[in-house]
Amino acid sequence: MRNRLLETRRTGRKTRTSHAQVVDELGKAIVAGTYSVGSILPGDVELAQRFKVSRTVLRETMKTLAAKGMVVAKARVGTRVTEKTLWNMFDSEIIAWHFDHGVTEEFLLQLYDIRLAVEPFAAGLVAERANADDIATLRALALDMAAPGHTTESLALADLKFHLAVADASHNPFMRTLGSLIEAALVGMFRLSTPPSQNGFANIADTHMRIVDAIVAGDVAGARKAMEDVIVEGRKHVRDAYAAFSEVSA
């Protein structure tokens, strides 16, 4: 589900199957707390009437939510909402549902914690393993961030493409599975911020080009540090934005 958050913002929800629609509605309701942890979801009859779907669709819906760790079915009890610690927080839909509900500062900062734990190491791997095509791609994507006329949204997309390319260039497939987390963190940061010319994002191409330069030099420690600097700066934007909101609300 590449770029789901960005695509949702640009085009709105696309046409979905009945199964996907029910999963989406129930998933959002669970994340929002409409169905709280430990509560039992309505039965098949009530849900079938509400969503105008068959019991077969409902069974598949519950299997999907169970696979995400959000619910568990028990005989003669019903389908219960599980503790959040059991949810698959790497799942792109669960992340998107948090954004639909209204993402919090804590949630975004937790995303940045994971990015700091993983992406600098990925950049170090790229410094060791990148081939000529990888380097050309990363350089072009970093330069694209310096292109004139970027909107906040287009810059977020350019930034996302760069970080996903780093994950790809690590030549470790596990790194690429973190794409949804990277996307969510970047989208969250850019949504909180003003247009790039007004908020300190003007040097974003330079900070990302430092990552590329370290990779070209085969400087593993330098690539890690350059990536860490980029992520720490993004986290700072999140904190600054929420602090500004707090001052306005006070």
One domain, residues 221 and 115: yes
Residue 180, domain extent: 103-249
Compute how many other C-beta atoms are within 10 angstroms of the C-beta atom of residue 31: 22
One domain, residues 229 and 127: yes
- Residue 92 domain flag: no
Examine the pLDDT at 15 and tell me if it is beyond 90. no
Query: What's the predicted TM-score (pTM) here?
Result: 0.85
One domain, residues 139 and 232: yes
One domain, residues 153 and 231: yes
**Among 74-88, 151-165, 188-202, 226-240, where is mean pLDDT lowest?**
188-202
Answer whether 168's CB lies under 8 Å from 2's CB. no
Secondary structure element (H or E) that encloses residue 37, with its range: none
Output the pLDDT for position 87: 97
One domain, residues 57 and 172: no
Residue 178 in 3-state DSSP? coil
Secondary structure element (H or E) that encloses residue 17, with its range: none
For residue range 196-238, what is the model confidence (pLDDT) as tens digits?
544 556 689 999 999 999 999 999 999 999 999 999 999 998 9
- Residue 4 domain flag: no
**% of the chain beyond a pLDDT of 90:** 68
Answer whether 205's CB lies under 8 Å from 142's CB. yes
Q: Which of 86, 118, 136 is the last residue of a domain?
A: 86
Cα 61 to Cα 58: distance, rounded to the nearest angstrom:
5
One domain, residues 27 and 144: no
One domain, residues 224 and 168: yes
- Residue 5 domain flag: no
Domain count along the chain: 2
Q: Which of 52, 86, 120 is the last residue of a domain?
A: 86
Cα 36 to Cα 58: distance, rounded to the nearest angstrom:
19
- Residue 11 domain flag: no
One domain, residues 52 and 165: no
